[in-house]
Amino acid sequence: MKQMNVTNPILSGFYPDPSIVRVGQDYYMVNSTFSYFPGVPLSHSTDLIHWEQITNILSTKSQLNLTNAPHSGGIYAPTIRYHNGTFYMITTNVSHGGNFIVTATNPYGPWSDPCFLNSAEGIDPSLFFDEDGTCYYCGTKGRREGAAFFGDNEIYVQEVDLTTMQLTGESYAIWHGALKEVEWPEGPHIYKRDGWYYLMIAEGGTGLNHAITMARSKNIKEMFEGCKRNPIFTHRHLGKEFWAINTGHADIVETEHGDWYMVLLASRPCDGYCLLGRETFLVPLIWEDGWPVVNPGIGLLDRVVTIPGKASSTLVEFTSVESTKVQADVQEFDIQFKDYHPTCRDIKENFRQKELPPYFFYLRNPQENHYETGRETGLRLYASDVPLTAEDSPTALFLRQTSINYTLGTKLEATLSNENSEAGILLMQSNHFHYRFCIYKGKVPMVVLISCIDGKEQLLIKRELTKLPSYLYVRENGLNLSFSYSFDGTEYETVATSIDASILSTERAGGFVGTCLGLYTYTPSKEFGEDFADFDYLHYQVM
């Protein structure tokens, strides 16, 4: 069988908490999105190497309410599973409603409205379908007999009635984790192999001490026994400067050829700072003496993983033997999006199509009348009076930063009638940590650079001009940002260099997200439609 190489991460940028399922020859993977909308990107692959985001599972407000959600609120830790012709995605909206399930018979959708599990406590839900068809909910919450310390959790299971989509029967605590006095046993998944139920979880928090542990039992409703060599995978002992840190929150999958692989999150630091958030990585595993051995002989993430496989088509296809109709349904979709890859090095979007590619997203539920696509002039953004520091939805459109070396450019024409109105490029880690590089109305036309650190805004650069420029350009090299503008798109004037990018890191800003790059407009006026900007294109290129 042909050997193929995959470079880690397999999904670059803000793609945390991966969960994966195989259906026939096809693999589907989901990730957390927190306060961004639409929620839960669904990526597809036929070889575990080439991945394409094919849709977002939660694409309507009825599916995903993010009103006033904190930046690291919203959607936590989705799990995707497949049973008897139906896809199930279960997750937690920590800001509105708790744990819920959505379903679809076609991975491209439509996906159902949420079925909230009224009695399901805690977060990080997962589903397991036993051989007799019984569905079990598996989640994490504080110990029922009383936690000894903050983060002293239990993993529990309870049957799910798939008719009512509610928990039924008794709840059983099955494990409290392997690591003594280490917080947050979470992210559980159950598998069955050779008559054993296996439980894999994350422990130690989401930072440097993150680890993956495993336990097993012959009875899913009894306490599980931990693997003697736990944790089965971690980078916690390698220090802050290793090329990949914070490893944890994993899921595993068996290929059609009987090989096993783990997907997990990790972060790549640059001089001690992680700007990209938590990304998705791939590592092989084998089974020895009834337990998994992750990347045997190495025990760490490799930058390049060699796996057996077949050549992958660039087209997204649903090739499950259980569904032949779906493949025809998605052919038109493939024509539009077949060239996109989530980790691609060059995205140039001109917004001439009415429908945005699936890798664009908003902060919380957008005010839809503030966005117009499919225009001859590109993307029109009507200015909002929602400040970027508010836990609300500003007029802004984003994609994920996937490299610490990139360029980002746009051409825009703005109608700014209100003093202090803005339009331009936004580099956002959170409401309280971001940069804005924009044209600015003011008393005279100008281009400005504004930083926001810990919620406090500061005007770093102000360049007064005779007219507003048409082109804005950002370059990042490591932790250094530079900002330029142009009137004609040929000659650029640099207004700032060596601007500190570390404020866009998890280490500075906290939280669970990665840096997102976008276009925005803002006005202090509440009059809708008075100020707007037309963006001819957005060009993101990894260097």
What is the residue type of 250? A
Q: How far apart are the first and last CA of the chain?
A: 34
Size of the chain, expressed as the number of residues it contains = 543
Task: Name the strand (E) or helix (H) holding 492.
Answer: strand 492-500
Alpha-carbon distance of 50 to 312, in angstroms, equals: 7
Tell me, yes or no, if 186 is annotated catalytic.
Answer: yes
Alpha-carbon distance of 253 to 167, in angstroms, equals: 26
Alpha-carbon distance of 53 to 72, in angstroms, equals: 22
Alpha-carbon distance of 37 to 364, in angstroms, equals: 5
Alpha-carbon distance of 524 to 440, in angstroms, equals: 12
Distances (CA, A) of 136 to 40, 205, 474: 22, 25, 49
Distances (CA, A) of 32 to 19, 38, 105, 279, 381: 9, 11, 21, 11, 27
Name the burial class of residue 103, with classes exposed (0-12), middle (13-18) and buried (19+) by CB atoms within 10 angstroms of its CB. middle
Phi, psi of 21 (to 5 degrees): -145, 145
386: left (phi over 0), alpha (psi -120 to 50) or beta: beta
DSSP 222-290: S--EE-TT--SEE-TTS-TTSSSEEEEEEEEEE-TTS-EEEEEEEE--BTTB-SS--EEEEEEEEEETT
Tell me, yes or no, if 17 is annotated catalytic.
Answer: yes
Q: Active-site residue among 186, 349, 392, 422?
A: 186
- Residue that has been written with the tokens 């520091």 in this structure: 389
Q: Active-site residue among 17, 124, 203, 534?
A: 17
Collapse the DSSP code of 335 into the 3-class scheme (helix H, G, I; strand E, B; otherwise coil) and give the result. Answer: helix
Distances (CA, A) of 436 to 12, 39, 286, 422, 524: 23, 24, 48, 9, 16
Distances (CA, A) of 328 to 25, 316, 334: 17, 11, 10
**DSSP secondary structure code for residue 24 in this structure:** T
8 A C-beta contact, residue 330 and residue 31? no
CA angle, corner 91, sides to 509 and 268, nearest 5? 35
Catalogue the active-site residues. Answer: 17, 186
